[in-house]
Amino acid sequence: MSYHPFITFSKSNQRLILLLITSHILWSCAILGLWFTGNLIKTAVPWWSSGFLALQLYAAAQLLLPALLLHAEKRSRSFYIFWGIILALCIWVINQLPPNSWQPLLTAVKSGLLLLIATLIGTALARYIQRLWEIVPICIAMTLADLASWLFGPTASFTRQIKEYYLAPEGPPPLIDMVLIKLAFPGSTGLTPVFGISDWIMVVFFAVVSSRFKVNDNLIGASGETLAQKRKVGRYLPISVLALFTATLLAQLTGLFLPALPLIALIMLLWYMTRYLLLQSTFCKDKDNP
C-alpha cells in the first residue's frame, strides 16, 4: 500500500478533522463569552473559580468525541515531520501578533488552537499502543520525568518565569507562555494560564487508548465512541479530564505551580488497577456460581 500524500485524508477523516476545527473555534468563542461573564463578578470566591474551571474542562471534554472516531491511515515519517513543523509554525505565528484591544479574543483563539493541536498529537500517539498494559510503563516514565524536570530541570525554570511574569507583568511574556492553555476566571482582567499543551496531549492520549481497547472511561454514561457515533454531545466525562481537573484544582488551592502530569498518570494507573480488580472479582464470582 502506498503512503498517502501529506495533505490527503480519507473522506471520513476529512469530515472529522473539519468537525474538530469547527468545535474548537466554538469552544474559543465560549471561553471569550465566559470571560466577559466573569468580569461581571466583582468578588471572586474559590467556588466560583472552581465552577468556571469545571465548566470549561467539561466543554473541552466534548471536543474529544470526533477524535475517537478518527481511523489510522498509513503514513511515512516525513508526513509527521511535515505536519509537526506546520503546527509548530501555527503556534509561533499566532503568538507574534501584537497585543491590541482584541487581545482577549486572540488569547481565546490561541487556547483553542493549542487544544486542537494537542488533540491531534495525542490521537496520533495513541495509535502506537499495541497492548493496554503498555500504558503502565508510560505512566511511570512520564511521572518520573516530569517530577525530575519540575524539581531539577527546565520545568523549574519555566515555572519561576511564568510565576514572576503573571505576578508583575513587564515586557514580553516568557517563551514557555506560547504553549500554555489559558482559561477564563471570575474577576480576572484576562485569560489565565492553567495547564500546558503536554497535559492535554496526555488527556487525549488516555481517552483514545481507552476507546481503542473498548474500555469505557466515561464516568457518566456510555463510552465516548458510542456517544460520538450517535452524535450525542454533553454526556462525556473521561477519567483523564477529571484527573486534569483534580491536578489543576490542587494547584489553585495550594497556590503552587504544580505539575499536572504525575497526578494524571497516578489517577489513570489507580483507575485501571481498580477496574482490573473489579473485573477479576466479577470473574471469580461467576466462576464460583456457574
In a domain, 216, yes or no: yes
In a domain, 211, yes or no: yes
Please tell me the total count of domains within the chain.
1
- CA distance linking residue 274 with residue 272, whole number of Å: 5
In a domain, 5, yes or no: no
Determine the pLDDT at residue 242: 95
Closest CA to 182 of 265, 65, 122, 95: 95
Question: Which residues 6+ apart lie within 8 Å of 290 measured at CB?
Answer: none
Q: How many Cβ atoms sit within 10 Å of the Cβ of residue 266?
A: 16
- CA distance linking residue 198 with residue 180, whole number of Å: 9
In a domain, 2, yes or no: no
Q: Is the pLDDT of residue 43 over 90?
A: no
Mean pLDDT for the stretch of residues 217-242: 92
Q: What angle, rounded to 10 degrees, do the helices at 11-39 and 46-62 form?
A: 160
In a domain, 31, yes or no: yes
Q: Is the pLDDT of residue 154 over 60?
A: yes
Angle ∠(91,30,25) on CA atoms, nearest 5: 40
Q: Which of 141-150, 176-185, 267-276, 279-288 has the lowest mean pLDDT?
A: 279-288
pTM of the prediction?
0.88
Mean pLDDT for the stretch of residues 153-168: 74
| The three grid cell numbers given for residue 210, joined into one nine-digit string | 481507552
Mean pLDDT for the stretch of residues 57-66: 95
271 contacts 263 by C-beta, under 8 angstroms: no
How much of the chain, in percent, has pLDDT values that exceed 70? 91
Determine the pLDDT at residue 289: 60
Exposure class string for 13-49: b at 16+ Cβ within 10 A, else e: beebbebbeebbeebbebbbebbeebeeeeeeeeeeb
Mean pLDDT for the stretch of residues 19-25: 94
Q: What angle, rounded to 10 degrees, do the helices at 239-254 and 46-62 form?
A: 160
How many Cα neighbours within 13 Å face the side chain of 278?
6
- CA distance linking residue 206 with residue 268, whole number of Å: 8
Q: Is the pLDDT of residue 166 over 50?
A: yes
In a domain, 3, yes or no: no
Mean pLDDT for the stretch of residues 203-230: 91
Confidence of residue 69 (pLDDT cuts 50, 70, 90): very high
Determine the pLDDT at residue 83: 87
- Helix locations, 40-76, DSSP H: 46-62
Select the more confidently predicted residue: 58 or 100.
Answer: 58
Determine the pLDDT at residue 207: 94
Determine the pLDDT at residue 162: 76
The CA-atom distances, in angstroms, between 157 and each of 153, 188, 257 are 7, 25, 11
- CA distance linking residue 32 with residue 112, whole number of Å: 11
Mean pLDDT for the stretch of residues 174-189: 86
Coil, strand or helix: which one is 180?
strand
Domain of 51, in residue numbers: 11-288
| The three grid cell numbers given for residue 72, joined into one nine-digit string | 489510522
Determine the pLDDT at residue 1: 45
- CA distance linking residue 237 with residue 224, whole number of Å: 8
- DSSP letter, residue 195: E
Mean pLDDT for the stretch of residues 218-247: 92
Determine the pLDDT at residue 62: 95
Select the more confidently predicted residue: 101 or 246.
Answer: 246
Mean pLDDT for the stretch of residues 209-214: 90
Q: What is the mean pLDDT of the chain?
A: 85
Determine the pLDDT at residue 275: 80
| The three grid cell numbers given for residue 65, joined into one nine-digit string | 468525541
- Looking up cell 495525542, which residue turns up? 122
Q: Is the pLDDT of residue 96 over 60?
A: yes
User: Where would I find the beta strands (DSSP E) of 4-134?
Assistant: none
Determine the pLDDT at residue 4: 59
Determine the pLDDT at residue 215: 87
In a domain, 64, yes or no: yes
Phi, psi of 72 (to 5 degrees): -70, 140
Determine the pLDDT at residue 174: 78
In a domain, 145, yes or no: yes
Select the more confidently predicted residue: 4 or 53.
Answer: 53
Determine the pLDDT at residue 56: 95
How many Cα neighbours within 13 Å face the side chain of 193?
22
Q: Is the pLDDT of residue 91 over 90?
A: no
Q: Count how many residues are written for the chain.
A: 290
| The three grid cell numbers given for residue 86, joined into one nine-digit string | 506546520
